Amino acid sequence: MSKIMNMSKAAIAALGMTTCITAAAVADMPEKPNGFPNRPVTLLIGWGAGGGVDQVARQLAVQFEKITGQPLVVINKPGGRGTVVLADFMNAASDGYTLMGGSDDLVGQYAAKGINENPFKDWTPIIIPQVTFTQIYRRAEETKFTDWDSFVAYAKANPGNVRLTNSGPAGGAERIMATKLAEVFDIKINQTQFDKASERYGSLLGGHVDVMMEQPGDVNQYIEGGQFVPILSLLNERPDTFADTQSIKDIGANVRPFLKWRAFWAKGDVPDERKKYLEAAFKAAWETEEFQKFNRSKYMHIVKSYYGIDEAVELMEGDLVTFRETLKAMGLLK
């Protein structure tokens, strides 16, 4: 009985602490501009349920409602590498009640002239709540190779037979990094693209591909479950969390390690005071302990993982320059 009472007291204390944190976040919020928002805000996601963008959207939605008093309604419209949703987003009223969630792929597609809208001029990035890096994974039971060096040896011994899956379009960061690695090590890699995460993961688990490019937070359950093993971290230095996995510096590759990020956008012509309120609301939601716990569980604490409007624009501007330079060097952009 006493144990139950103690547990209840601990739970009540934890609940009280969470309530205090949320109340403090609400107290720090600016006044609503002319009552905005006074009804639910819609967040359109260009990817399917369960993917990385969807997961972070739903986690932030819980905190957003606590902060603003209005629900953040997440609607999935997958397809076209996150671009099918653009028509609905661009046709929505410029009142701040319709937002869009996506990733760095949209900057890559703009650089490759796959979409017409400039992600930081035609739209305003309200928040980047997650920034991470990419790894290359093998199946735990893989016998043909165990690490990056033996993977390269296998690829050289079996030219044209190595299969890699990723989510990247021709101009996407993952596609670019895989292509550059193949060039540096003089190997041929056949890349297969899957929009749905379940298809990518299933193709590796089933042995239909040899390796997969993905972000650690999206496959943490497979890493911790011993099903996927990283053979390369696409960072210049090894992060402590993956100290046994080689980095780009370790393998001597002169390849730019693109960081992967997720963002929520408002249309560019939404009134500034509404965009600033949304920025403050999402920042307060991001800072809650509940969301930070979620981000840590997804390895999103390893690199800087919060960008407000100004910093997000700066990051996207830099990425656009790099995408264009890389695509031109690869002959994919004139």
Convert the pLDDT of each residue in 270-289 to its tens digit: 999 999 999 999 999 999 99
Residue 65 falls within a domain, yes or no? yes
Judge if 127 and 264 occupy the same domain.
Answer: yes
**Could you give the number of structural domains in the chain?**
2
Range(s) of the domain holding residue 237: 135-251
Q: What is the mean predicted confidence (pLDDT) over 48-60?
A: 90
Look at residue 23 in the predicted model and tell me its pLDDT: 54
The identity of residue 244, as a single letter, is D
- Residue 310 sits at φ, ψ, to 5 deg, of -65, -45
Same domain, 73 and 96: yes
Residue 1 has pLDDT above 60, yes or no: no
Q: Mean of the pLDDT values across residues 288-309?
A: 94
pLDDT value for 19: 46
Do 122 and 140 have their domain in common?
no
Mean pLDDT (whole number) for 95-102: 98
34: pLDDT strictly greater than 50: yes
pLDDT at position 21: 47
5: in domain: no
In degrees and rounded to multiples of 5, residue 233 shows phi and psi of -100, 125
- Name the band, by pLDDT with cuts 50, 70 and 90, for residue 143: very high
Q: For position 92, which CATH number holds?
A: 3.40.190.150
Kindly tell me if the per-residue pLDDT of 238 is higher than 90.
Answer: yes
- Residues 319, 232 within the same domain: no
pLDDT of 9 reads: 45
- pLDDT over threshold 70, residue 304: yes
182, pLDDT greater than 80? yes
Q: Are residues 147 and 247 in the same domain?
A: yes
Coil, strand, or helix at residue 2? helix
CB-CB contact of 48 with 76 (8 Å): yes
* DSSP, residue by residue, 32-93: PGGG--SSPEEEEESS-TTSHHHHHHHHHHHHHHHHHSS-EEEEE---GGGTTTHHHHHHS-
- The CATH number assigned to the domain holding 198 equals 3.40.190.10
Lowest mean per-residue pLDDT among 15-24, 93-102, 105-114: 15-24
**pLDDT recorded at residue 52:** 83
Instruction: Specify whether 280 is located in the same domain as 179.
Output: no
Higher pLDDT, 242 or 172: 242
Residues 120 and 266 in one domain: yes
| Residue 38 scores a pLDDT above 50 | yes
Regarding whether 322 and 296 lie in a shared domain, the answer is yes
pLDDT higher than threshold 90 for residue 79? no
Are 109 and 147 in the same domain? no
The answer, yes or no, to whether residue 20 has pLDDT greater than 50, is no
Alpha carbons 180 and 87: distance in angstroms, whole number: 33
Per residue in 119-139, pLDDT tens? 999 999 999 999 999 999 999
Kindly indicate the confidence band of residue 86, based on its pLDDT and cuts at 50, 70 and 90.
very high
pLDDT at 169: 65
Residue 170 has a pLDDT of 64
Domain end, chosen from 251, 284, 308, is at: 251
pTM above 0.85, yes or no: no
- Looking at every residue in the chain, the average pLDDT score rounds to 90
Report d(CA 298, CA 315) in Å as an integer: 21
Output 216 or 80, whichever has higher pLDDT: 216
Domain stops at, among 227, 251, 275: 251
Nearest to 206 by CA among 188, 187, 192: 192
